A and B are shown apart, each in its own frame.
Chain A
Amino acid sequence: MDGPLIVQSDKTLLLEIDHPAAEEARRAIAPFAELERAPEHVHTYRLTPLGLWNASAAGHDAEQVVAALLDHSRYPVPHALLVDVAETMSRYGRLQLVDHPTHGLVLHALDRAVLEEVLRSKRTAGMLGTRIDADDVVVHPSERGRLKQALVKLGWPAEDLAGYVDGEAHAIDLVTEGWGLRPYQQQAADGFWHGGSGVVVLPCGAGKTIVGAAAMARARSTTLILVTNTVAARQWRDELLRRTTLTEEEIGEYSGARKEIRPVTIATYQVLTTKRKGVYPHLELLDARDWGLIVYDEVHLLPAPIFRMTADLQARRRLGLTATLVREDGREDEVFSLIGPKRYDAPWKDIEAQGYIAPAVCTEVRLSLPDAQRMVYATAEAEDRYRLAASAEGKNTVVEQLVARHAEDQLLVIGQYLDQLELLADHLDAPLITGQTTVKERQRLFDAFRAGEIRRLVVSKVANFSVDLPEAAVAIQVSGSFGSRQEEAQRLGRIMRPKADGRTAHFYAVVTRDTVDQEMAAHRQRFLAEQGYAYRIVDAHDLDAPPR
């Protein structure tokens, strides 16, 4: 026994990655354990009921799980944990969702006592119809997702054998001229397709759109793509035109500006969740065609109403794409149970090591408030403190120093507060993009930036995600929305496309010392730190020294 795995009593698994057998162990535990943290020495996985049930759904049994733990563990595995794994997994599939030839969708029990328990539960109220016989109950087709979610909460997850509707067929193929699917993109697309539905987690800049395109080419059916905003919608369209056989006439945009419904329709979350007089007027889009595939881009941002809509779409294949499945509202589990389990997840540093995303150096620059401002800060109301600290004047000087240091690079300055950004844009003599900038203007500026005509851009949170700026190599963050971990990661993601000359990307977070800004920064950095991006901390007054 000298494996790379250490089992903790709180059901976390520690994988020592410098160990020669680490890769083998990772492959063995990946099907059932959730990757929680991936810093430099030891990766942390967690055993959860949901993870174990997903493994069951994918055809793994408890014996394999136990064997994987025993084979790779360095120390004896607590007996109680093994028993618990076996018990948890044995709960999966006592109930099945099947397509009954006459009654349609039916909940079928292999264990009658479980069915009785479930029928009596308040959680399933209103989801189930008439009881056909001792073992079968009719399920309202629209409740399929909600029922599955309720059953997971009751601890009796159902095996869904009812299958998916094929949707309206539509020929889509990849056009692989001059490029090919990367191995992890292929694995992600395959993992999704075999699982039927689910979430693919890939770092920013690792080509999630292409995984979506590959999934569409597998489905070969009409597809609805839900994205965060119009700019992202246009990027999706351009990418699909470039990578697939789809033509402009086949791709529709359904946004505030346009309402096109075509075989492949790209809609924004915003338009779907627009509410007028208590109803969602654009919801019918979901039924406008017999969609064979629904793609959710940036699934970590999926708004709550769409959660509920998705529950009605359980018969259709669903693909969720994200780089950062951390939600500050703690609803990660709902994403998994409604879209589907995680089908592919790669640590950022692994993709970096393969050269598909740029290596990045993260630096936190700390500056002290001058005494006068400290007094203002100390006596300020609690709700004003973050803004005060985050938009401290001293940050402007720091940004200027950093910009000077990276004079040759394509550079973004990202912030939260408009007056701060306006001031910075002024100082740096750089264009500013905010929510008030028109889509057309945004497109123009981004295009100019991509073409290298503009070297510096000052942007607000509109550029947090879904904006593809391949040659941006430096990002300076001056403020953000409090302690959002995914925002931090997404902002780093803006500069992670591999550079033509293989340059290292630089990410700077400028932070005011001894204030709530510093606390928020620590929280924001957690996701990236857990992905192995260690922040170097530099004092602002040390910045004059030349870069190493």
Chain B
Amino acid sequence: MATFTEHLRALGVDGLAALLDRRRDLAAPPPASVRALAARAGTRASLDRALARIDTGTLAGVEAVVALPPPVRPADVSHAVGAHADVWLGVAEDWGLVWQDDDGLHAAPGLSDLLGPHPAGLGPPLAETLARRSTEALATLAAEVGCTPTELAERLADTATVEGLLAEAPIGARAVLDALTWGPPVGRTPRPGTPGAGAVGWLLRTGLLAVGDPQHVVLPAEVALALRGGRTRREPPTPPAPTVVEVDSRTVDADAAGRALETVRLVGELLELWGRAPAAVLRSGGLGARELKRVAAALEVDAGTAALLVEVAGAARLVAEDGEESPSFCPTTVADDWAGDDAAHRWVELVRAWLTAERAPWLVGSRDEAGSLRGALDSAHRRPWVPRLRAAVLGALADAGGRVDAADLHTVLAWRTPRSAPTEHAVQAVLDEAAVLGVTGAGALGGPARQLLAGWVPPDGTEPTFTPTAVLGAAAALSQTLPAPVDEVLLGGDLTGVVPGRPSDALEALLTDVAQVESRGAGLTVRFTEESLRGALDRRSAPEILDALASHARGEVPQPLRYLVTDAARRHGQVRVGSGAAYLRGDPAALAGIEQTPALRALGLRVLAPGVLISPTEPAALLEALRAAGLPAAAEDAAGTVLHARPTRHRVRHTPMPVPDPEVARRRLLRVAGDLVADTGGPAAAPVPPADGTPEPSEALAVLRAAVGAGTEVWLEVASPGGTTRRRVRPLLVEGGRVRVLDQQRAAELTVAVHRIAGAQPVDGPAGVRVDRSADGPVEDGEAWTDH
């Protein structure tokens, strides 16, 4: 029989590279030898990762290989799971979970621990349960069954024998077996005299049950299989058929494009907002609930969307902490480049950031286990599994090719990765976010997002990346879907304007500056008011505003609008605030009104001279208060000229997100695999004695596991306060960070903590390992070997 190590070695360079590509945790850091690789592949952590990513069918196949009594042939597995299992076994082999030689299929070392203690709900094999009986008991049992003691195991695994025995069983025996057949295979031993006691006693006598421990009985694996008709699963694994609602791809793309544009616009507004007034960072890190509410109000979105936008902007490095003494979030220099890009590229950047962000925006605003609010942009809330979740959800949606609801998508994911299926809530959250961002439209995956996903090297612990073609392709696809920008506005006599389509960037900038947006959607409607113009008049003169409007208007600028702009300009600056001495001057009547206004009393205004007021308040605060009271005040300089203020734009220097080349990663894996094969001299090379160095603890564990399986003895070196001790023991069980061993010389069972094991070496072979424990700290408990 070959070993797992030999199997791996036989894979060759391409085979190993393929394995390492699937299980990247095995490649980093590069393993020293194929043996080290095999040992690493058998560790709990690595197997857990691998099992987390295989589908239900493959898992059923692996489970059957672990559970069925050897030798296991592919046909046995197919029979056991109730479906054709060859493809699943192939996948399991690709993942290094099972391997095959002339003796049949074998599970990778360590798997039985992981799938145990009752893989497929099966108890211990008959070989084990019968071995616990004395010779006399076996003879009695053989007489009961009607065979020799050596034939017992074979007979009890036979359906006909079991059914034959059961035909004479006392009442209740069948019910006991029915309860245990599909697992768990362990039941409590009834007290003598209770109704079940007779039935259980009979079952124990006939060998159909075995004693587990003084309180429990256990159903041997072969008996259970005989009762199950050889099945390891009650139902054959069947992939779910989700309800897919087909949606016309134009509808999907149009819908997605609409939302994509909206997202880009909102992120732009967020940058604008924080550029003017950065948002304070909480002392505990992240963005406070009040700041988030401010964003939501300014962007006119709900809090959930605001959190998503903020997180996406953060992930895309468009906003960051400025690192000041009292830090705030503000736009980065990356944001300036981003803003200069076209809408499609801006969107791709955002979605790229969202897909790869190890963050869960939908949890913002909820409370963690400690009861404190989870804030947005809090670096403490890193969640490495989220990109994988997004890839899984969107991948399933892409495969479905239509709209699928969260519940159905959840069953698909539960099939695809049964050991790491996300909650339905998380699936819904990803779908909701995808909808907001325009990754999906009408519930189905949009064309541009599909292109981007196709070029995404899926996240698996290493840096996730997108191919440049995917990035460009997605942007091009979105550009094609977007309606052509409209550069024309229809101005109405009722002081409204309508852009019949998506406004061009220039037109949108103009209209949002001088007017109030009334509605958005396929088009844009705005209303001009004196208030909306007041802000704009700080930046442009009335003729400039009118010229700009005229250059975009279909037809003439209506007279009422022209009058409004001119009149607003006339009133603009009617009351002026000085910066030097904090005075107010202007029209005496207007000033008299101001002085009379009770709401402004706090400013301490008083008449200095006819037409001039003075105030102890800082000019800026004064100006703000006057405007808040609805007065058309403006600041002026010493010469009496109205100041034209420009908005401040805060920035943090930052570099854009890199686009790593996945080809580089693949070449690296090939090199690692090449080194491995070259190092070991190929499949035929003799086992290499352990290098004098620091092999991994996992290798020692592999030696111990192999010894458990084979029932052989090892030399075990254990670090203890007095130095390393060495004993010859038979390992019984490796589990949960502990190893149970039998010291036959002292006839004692001992438990050793794995972190104390310094080395393990098979007694009959040279291939042992030593673990370097020099780095471990002093042992504190003083007792390395624990009597069991």
Contacts and interface: CB of A to CB of B under 8 A. Distances in A.
Interface string A266-295: 000000000000000000000000000000
A78 interface: yes
A176 to B, nearest CB: 38
A8 B251 contact: no
B492 A76 contact: no
A537 B494 contact: no
A54 to B, nearest CB: 23
Q: In this complex, which of A73, A78, A379 has the most chain B Cβ atoms within 10 angstroms of its Cβ?
A: A78
A6 interface: yes
Describe B's contact surface by its main secondary structure.
Answer: mixed
Residue of B494, B495, B496, B571 ringed by the most chain A CB atoms within 10 A: B494
Contact of A42 (B247, B490, B495): B490
A419 B524 CA distance: 47
B519 A78 contact: no
A515 to B, nearest CB: 11
Given A79-B247, A534-B493, A537-B559, A74 B258 contact: no
A322 B495 CA distance: 26
Interface string B491-522: 11111101011000000000000000001111
B494 A529 contact: yes
A379 B596 contact: yes
B521 A6 contact: yes
- Chain B interface size, as a band, is 35 or more
B593 interface: yes
A40 B554 CA distance: 12
Most chain-A Cβ atoms within 10 A of its Cβ — which of B493, B495, B501, B588? B493
Nearest to B587: A374
B418 to A, nearest CB: 33
Given A7-B522, A79-B442, A14 B498 contact: yes
A514 B258 CA distance: 42
B255 A78 contact: yes
Contacts of B558: 534
Interface in B540-575: 554, 558-560, 563, 567, 571
A133 interface: no
Nearest to A37: B494
A76 B248 CA distance: 12
Contacts of A375: 588-589, 592
Contact of A75 (B254, B492, B559, B560): B254
A249 to B, nearest CB: 49
Nearest to B571: A514
B329 to A, nearest CB: 28
A12 interface: yes
Nearest to B491: A41
Interface residues of A, number: 37
Contacts of A422: none
Interface in A354-394: 371, 374-375, 377-379
Interface in A1-28: 6-10, 12, 14, 16
A377 B589 CA distance: 9
A8 B519 contact: yes
A513 to B, nearest CB: 8
B485 interface: no
A237 interface: no
A39 B523 contact: no
Contacts of B560: 529, 534-537
Contact of A79 (B441, B494, B593): B441
A10 B254 contact: no
A491 interface: no
Contact of B519 (A9, A74, A529, A536): A9
Given A41-B554, A534-B559, A378 B596 contact: yes
A75 B524 CA distance: 13
A343 interface: no
Find the residue from B525, B567, B588, B589 having the highest chain A CB count within 10 A: B589
B592 A378 contact: yes
Contacts of B521: 6-10, 12, 78
A39 B255 contact: no
A75 B494 CA distance: 25
A526 interface: yes
Contacts of A514: 571
B490 A78 contact: no
A9 B436 CA distance: 14
A39 B592 contact: no
Contacts of A374: 589
A526 B250 CA distance: 40
A378 B589 contact: yes
Interface string B208-228: 000000000000000000000
A6 B501 CA distance: 8
B493 A8 contact: no
B490 A379 contact: no
B501 A14 contact: no
Given A75-B501, A514-B571, A534 B247 contact: no
A42 B558 CA distance: 14
A277 B6 CA distance: 107
A299 to B, nearest CB: 24
A70 to B, nearest CB: 10
B175 interface: no
A9 B520 contact: yes
B46 to A, nearest CB: 44
Contact of B258 (A10, A39, A76, A377): A76
Contacts of B571: 514
Given A529-B495, A534-B560, A76 B523 contact: no
B87 interface: no
A532 B525 contact: no
A530 interface: yes
Interface in A77-112: 78-80
A76 B496 contact: no
Interface string A380-423: 00000000000000000000000000000000000000000000
A44 B558 CA distance: 19
A73 B500 contact: no
B494 A76 contact: no
A376 to B, nearest CB: 9
A79 B554 CA distance: 30
B590 interface: yes
A75 B519 CA distance: 16
Contacts of B491: 41
A16 B490 contact: yes
B255 A79 contact: yes
B492 A73 contact: no
Contacts of A526: 494
A39 B590 contact: no
Interface string A35-59: 0010111101000000000000000
B543 to A, nearest CB: 18
Interface string B172-202: 0000000000000000000000000000000
A537 B563 contact: yes
B74 to A, nearest CB: 48
Contacts of A532: 493-494
Interface string B461-504: 00000000000000000000001000000111111101011000
B601 to A, nearest CB: 15
Contacts of A39: 492-494, 496
Question: 4 shortest A-B CB distances, which residue pairs?
Answer: A534-B493, A76-B254, A8-B521, A378-B593
14 contacts: A6-B500, A8-B520, A8-B523, A16-B490, A39-B493, A41-B554, A73-B522, A75-B523, A78-B521, A79-B443, A371-B589, A378-B589, A529-B493, A535-B493
Given A42-B490, A75-B501, A532-B494, 6 more contacts: A6-B500, A9-B521, A12-B519, A42-B498, A74-B501, A379-B593
Interface of B: 247, 250-251, 254-255, 258, 441-443, 483, 490-496, 498, 500-501, 519-523, 525, 554, 558-560, 563, 567, 571, 588-590, 592-593, 596
Interface of A: 6-10, 12, 14, 16, 37, 39-42, 44, 73-76, 78-80, 371, 374-375, 377-379, 514, 526, 529-530, 532-537
